[in-house]
Amino acid sequence: VGRAKNNKGHADTVRCSNCSRFVGKDKSIKRFQQRQMVDGSSRRDIKDNYAYDQAEFYLPKVYIKLSYCVSCAIHARVVRVRSNEDRRKRYTTKLRQRVRAEA
């Protein structure tokens, strides 16, 4: 229960990003975290000493894939406990919900 193995036999395991528990890859709750490479003050220093045009200044972001076990995801409020009816609805971000509403 709570897996997406679907007659696969064996699913790989991943480590929880929070507690390092081994969780099935299909069962783990996966989220991407988007971070800046450098903090704000360092970013400003780099921008001031940038050799090229200031308007085209761009520092890349870091995207980190986090995998949580069920208990850590609930504890950290990544996911919430939902009723039987609401569990049928797939998780989507608020951004995606807004885009669908406008269309």
Q: What is the pTM of this model?
A: 0.72
Strand partners, 35: 62
| pLDDT at site 90 | 80
| pLDDT at site 93 | 66
The pLDDT mean for the chain works out to: 87
| pLDDT at site 91 | 73
Q: What is the DSSP string of 43-82?
A: HHHHHHT-SS-GGG----EEEEEEEE-HHHHHHTTSS---
Residues of the chain with pLDDT under 70: 1, 93-103
34 membership: H or E segment, kind and range: strand 29-36
Place of tokens 């009723």: 83
| Cα-Cα end-to-end distance for the chain | 35
